Structure 1
Amino acid sequence: MDILGMYPTFYMPWIGSAWVMGIIGVIHVVASHTSVGAAFLFALLETKAYRENKPELMDFIQRYGKFLLVFSYIVGSVTGVGIWYAITIASPRGTAGLIHSFVWVWAAEWVYFTVEVIGVYALVYLIGKIDRLTHLKVTWAFALASWATMLLIVGIISFMMWPGNDAWYQTGSTNDAFYNINFFAHLGVRTGSMLVMATVVGLIVTAGMKDKSEALRRSVVRTLTPIGLIGGAFSAIMFFYYLQTLPYNARVMLDAHLLPQYAAGMIAVVAVTVAYLVFAWWRPLWVTTWIAVPLFLFIAIVGVWPEERMRESMRKPYVAGQYIYGNQVIARDVPGKGIKGEVDIIAEKGLLKVHPFIPDRLRTITPGNQLEVGRLLAKISCANCHALEAGAPLRSLPDKFHGATDKDLIAAFINGPLKHGAVPYMPRIDLPAEEVQAIAAFLADANAHREGGTAQSPSTAAVPVAAANKE
């Protein structure tokens, strides 16, 4: 028996496993982008303070820096660890593939992150305790280290979309993976957006400085807002460049599903952000906490959440490099890494025979265990992107069949478009007939229970594949 190097399948009821990482990731992006953008705002403001002899600007930098220590370096660090935990359980083979390609890139990123953390503490607590020029050098070192962490992570994330050419598959080289077709466009989008986010958060800090002079608050706001506007314009330009670097499956997903859902919100965020920053520049003293906080939340929720969801969704059906499917199956050969595709092996032998974490009692399908096997196979094949409960709020798999209870109709779709890879954003799922019938029976049963008001309970659907071995 050929056993593949698969891992246990983690499943989060009602939202699917991928959304665990997605929710944590959005919080992390807001915190980390604010930190990197703020680092450059600090460097530019302190340069202005040094050259124009305006030491009062250091009061704002110190207050914003203390805010960062809580918002970015506690929230950001905790969610950063949370991302590692989430991707390890939700996508272990994808995570392993990235580590094997980028282990030294990540090591370098951690070095820069160490410099960044030390730098922010030094920046905040050494104001007034060392000479101004030395402190300015510390601030610029902090800014460059912060941006370096973003640059290195963007190279990895961009590879997750796709390498863009065949070189990496043949060489397995880190350089071919890192400097992919998507890299510079993606870096430009994030660099511009980090300045916008840092400016918006900076306005919250400024609004809270009621104990400072109006002249200081006016000077800070009128320094920040042009940086945010320029960063936003640069991010928008690079976004259109970014769209030109996407693979075919991403463009199909974008046009067919994502833009119809999120385009209006994206346009609204851009319009509101521009209007807000222009208004703040025009009337800096009118920016109060009651204005700054709600607008920050609007930009973060309506802007960052859809953007991150779109970026993650466009990558489908792959989770890394267009060679690992979201369901952890290796989609193609990668000679440069000695990796062999697994779709044909699964088609020949079936998941029940080659997956190491299938309980022995479920390796053979019987009338008595067909629904249980079908649920297990659906988790392995589909739960990384879909919820398995009918009526679930995020990508419910039964709902994708419009409530169908006809097993043959569901099996026809699995044996048709999915078997032949005809849907660009869905993995090719080629299974033996009895396994297809088991999945179809489970989905039909889920829809039937939903129609009858007895949908499968979350606790039953939540049993991971690994836990099934204990039964």
Structure 2
Amino acid sequence: MPEHLGLYPHWYVPAIGSAWVMGIIGTIHVLASHTSVGASWLFALLETKAVRENKPELMEYIKKYGMFLLVFSYIIGSITGPGIWYSVTVASPRGISGLIHNFVWVWATEWVFFFVEVIGVYALVYLLGKIDPRTHLKLTWSFAVASWATMILIVPILSFMMWPGNERWYETGSTFDAAFNLNYFAHLGVRTAFMFAIAGAVGGILAATMKNREVRIEITRFLSKMGLAGLFLGVVMWLWYLQTLPENARIVMETQMAPKYGPFLAAVLLGTLLYFLWTAWKPLQLRQGVAVAMTVVIALFGLWPEERSRESLRKPYVAGQYIYSNQLFARDVPGKGVTSDLPMIEAKGVLQTHMFVPADLRTVTPENKVRAGEFLTKTLCTNCHSIEPDAKLRALPARFGFSDDPVMVKAYLDGALYHGTVPYMPRLPLPEAEREAMAAYIASLSKGAAPMLAAHDALQQGAH
């Protein structure tokens, strides 16, 4: 058993918690990146049609969309990409370390394809009309293949974050055992479907501005078909995806995500379906403002809940079902030389083994109990929860009914969390003194929170 916990100083962002910084940045990045990959295939298919049917007028739209893509995807995407790396490094250092140790060469390969993709989109836009059409078509298809390759190589990492899908990886530590797991192909299908749908929606923003009536009709209907294909593929892939989830994710889906987001996402899906059917039927009625509104609806009411749900489904883990969201190692992984932290914190506690605990908090006393509890709570809980009673994202006091009674709070810490009986919460087998300190601090957060309790109860009653 190691002598110390290998944890870094904790980073906490008030009101939303640390992990949600990465989540918000990541959602923006997904919108930009998936639009880019979807648009690359739109360009390839549409340009193939233009060359085969000798319709050079379609190329004007490709150039216009390409210029839009350079700003929307390759500036916003290039900013949010490093933003994910910076935020995840401070919010989840062990999580990103675990992914790097498994997938460093996969990431390196993905960056090669991304380099080709960036060069490809610039060449596609600025060489249009300057080289012969068939050579340009080859360039466009190269851009499309490189774009999709980046998705093919990133999805194994995202799927592994849900779970390895087999026990073999824990013994071998092999990248291939981790990458091409049970969840991989279904996950890739879901993201591929979304890239078609979002590229079709964003493409409508520019199709509505085309002055040539016949071109506008043809492109709008082409986008509608692409969007409808994406929706159909997405439903099929999502049903498959649900069958590839681990047991803890199924429980979260059935008890929390489906009741909360199910009707909402179904409404967005139906609205998007009706939108693409309408634009296919009446392409000239599409206006730029409507296309912008549809893109916003998909992003805010479709993508955000979907990404938030996916992040929630893997709880209590952040990667591989061996790293808890609070950065503790939850099990031994011989293939990576990883040893579970749980026996050590059960025997010695966090305050005695964490390298960055202030000296006066190493031992819990009546005088420092609340401060020690604050350190423990921020270290062990705030990667998922915010601690302010009025916070909008997973407020920790709300989970205890805004109770200011330390005895009630400690009963939960002594029972469910100590023994790990809640599938979506990490097991925290802390010593008695540390559980008392956490209970004292969590209870102190709810003192004077009566108005919030009343609002919380009203909201719960309204939901039922």
Instruction: Tell me the amino acid that sits aligned with residue 201 of structure 1.
Output: V
Residue 182 of structure 1: how far off its partner (Å): 0.5
Return the alpha-carbon distance in structure 2 between the equivalents of residues 106 and 331 of structure 1: 25
Contact persistence 2:268–2:298 (CA under 8 A): yes
Return the alpha-carbon distance in structure 1 between the equivalents of residues 109 and 297 of structure 2: 34
| Residues 355-406 of structure 1, C-alpha deviations (whole Å, 9 max, x = no match) | 1110111111122211111111001110000001112111111110001111
Contact persistence 2:171–2:334 (CA under 8 A): yes
Question: Superposition RMSD on alpha carbons, in Å?
Answer: 1.0
Return the alpha-carbon distance in structure 2 between the equivalents of residues 171 and 9 of structure 1: 31
Q: Any idea what SS the aligned residue of 2:318 has?
A: strand
* 1:227 corresponds to 2:232: no
Instruction: Tell me the amino acid that sits aligned with residue 436 of structure 1.
Output: R
Residue 266 of structure 1: how far off its partner (Å): 0.7
Contact persistence 2:371–2:441 (CA under 8 A): yes
Superposition pairs of residues 426-441 of structure 1, within 5 angstroms? 426-441=425-440
Q: Any idea what SS the aligned residue of 1:442 has?
A: helix
Residue 437 of structure 1: how far off its partner (Å): 0.4
Structure 1 moving runs of 4+ over 2 Å? 449-453
Aligned residue number for residue 247 of structure 2: 248
Return the alpha-carbon distance in structure 2 between the equivalents of residues 231 and 297 of structure 1: 17
Q: Any idea what SS the aligned residue of 2:73 has?
A: helix
Superposition pairs of residues 121-132 of structure 1, within 5 angstroms? 121-132=122-133
Q: Any idea what SS the aligned residue of 1:110 has?
A: helix
Aligned residue number for residue 333 of structure 2: 334
Aligned residue number for residue 318 of structure 2: 319
| Residues 151-182 of structure 1, C-alpha deviations (whole Å, 9 max, x = no match) | 11101000000011101000000000000110
Long gaps (5+) in structure 2: 453-464
Return the alpha-carbon distance in structure 2 between the equivalents of residues 347 and 389 of structure 1: 28
Aligned residue number for residue 455 of structure 2: none
Contact persistence 2:14–2:388 (CA under 8 A): yes
Aligned residue number for residue 282 of structure 2: 283
Aligned residue number for residue 409 of structure 2: 410
Alignment length, in residue pairs? Answer: 451
Contact persistence 1:2–1:353 (CA under 8 A): no
Aligned residue number for residue 457 of structure 1: none
Aligned residue number for residue 304 of structure 1: 303
Aligned residue number for residue 150 of structure 2: 149
Return the alpha-carbon distance in structure 1 between the equivalents of residues 450 and 217 of structure 2: 61
Return the alpha-carbon distance in structure 1 between the equivalents of residues 51 and 451 of structure 2: 72
Residue 290 of structure 1: how far off its partner (Å): 2.0
Return the alpha-carbon distance in structure 2 between the equivalents of residues 369 and 140 of structure 1: 64
Contact persistence 2:248–2:314 (CA under 8 A): yes
Aligned residue number for residue 366 of structure 1: 365
Q: Any idea what SS the aligned residue of 1:53 has?
A: coil
Q: Any idea what SS the aligned residue of 2:75 has?
A: helix
Return the alpha-carbon distance in structure 1 between the equivalents of residues 293 and 134 of structure 2: 37
| Residues 95-118 of structure 1, C-alpha deviations (whole Å, 9 max, x = no match) | 000000000000000000000000
Aligned residue number for residue 213 of structure 2: 214
| Residues 63-94 of structure 1, C-alpha deviations (whole Å, 9 max, x = no match) | 00000000000001101111111110100000
Instruction: Tell me the amino acid that sits aligned with residue 274 of structure 1.
Output: L
Return the alpha-carbon distance in structure 2 between the equivalents of residues 4 and 439 of structure 1: 19
Aligned residue number for residue 262 of structure 2: 263
Aligned residue number for residue 188 of structure 1: 189
Return the alpha-carbon distance in structure 2 between the equivalents of residues 11 and 396 of structure 1: 13
| Residues 297-322 of structure 1, C-alpha deviations (whole Å, 9 max, x = no match) | 11111000000000000010000000
Instruction: Tell me the amino acid that sits aligned with residue 213 of structure 2.
Output: E
Instruction: Tell me the amino acid that sits aligned with residue 289 of structure 1.
Output: Q
Return the alpha-carbon distance in structure 2 between the equivalents of residues 384 and 377 of structure 1: 12
Contact persistence 2:325–2:383 (CA under 8 A): yes
Residue 450 of structure 1: how far off its partner (Å): 2.6
Instruction: Tell me the amino acid that sits aligned with residue 252 of structure 1.
Output: I
Instruction: Tell me the amino acid that sits aligned with residue 107 of structure 2.
Output: W
TM-score, length of structure 2 as denominator length: 0.96
Return the alpha-carbon distance in structure 1 between the equivalents of residues 231 and 140 of structure 2: 23
Residue 451 of structure 1: how far off its partner (Å): 3.5
Aligned residue number for residue 458 of structure 2: none
Residue 131 of structure 1: how far off its partner (Å): 0.9
Instruction: Tell me the amino acid that sits aligned with residue 55 of structure 1.
Output: P
Q: Any idea what SS the aligned residue of 2:352 has?
A: helix
Instruction: Tell me the amino acid that sits aligned with residue 407 of structure 1.
Output: P
Return the alpha-carbon distance in structure 2 between the equivalents of residues 347 and 452 of structure 1: 37
Residue 452 of structure 1: how far off its partner (Å): 8.7
Long gaps (5+) in structure 1: 454-471
Contact persistence 2:416–2:422 (CA under 8 A): yes
Percent identity (aligned): 57
Return the alpha-carbon distance in structure 1 between the equivalents of residues 14 and 124 of structure 2: 44
Q: Any idea what SS the aligned residue of 2:447 has?
A: helix
Contact persistence 2:205–2:289 (CA under 8 A): no
Q: Any idea what SS the aligned residue of 1:256 has?
A: helix
Return the alpha-carbon distance in structure 1 between the equivalents of residues 372 and 235 of structure 2: 48
Instruction: Tell me the amino acid that sits aligned with residue 79 of structure 1.
Output: T
Instruction: Tell me the amino acid that sits aligned with residue 298 of structure 1.
Output: V
| Residues 206-235 of structure 1, C-alpha deviations (whole Å, 9 max, x = no match) | 1123xx211111111111211110121011
TM-score, length of structure 1 as denominator length: 0.95
Return the alpha-carbon distance in structure 2 between the equivalents of residues 369 and 108 of structure 1: 50
Aligned residue number for residue 168 of structure 2: 167
Contact persistence 1:161–1:315 (CA under 8 A): yes
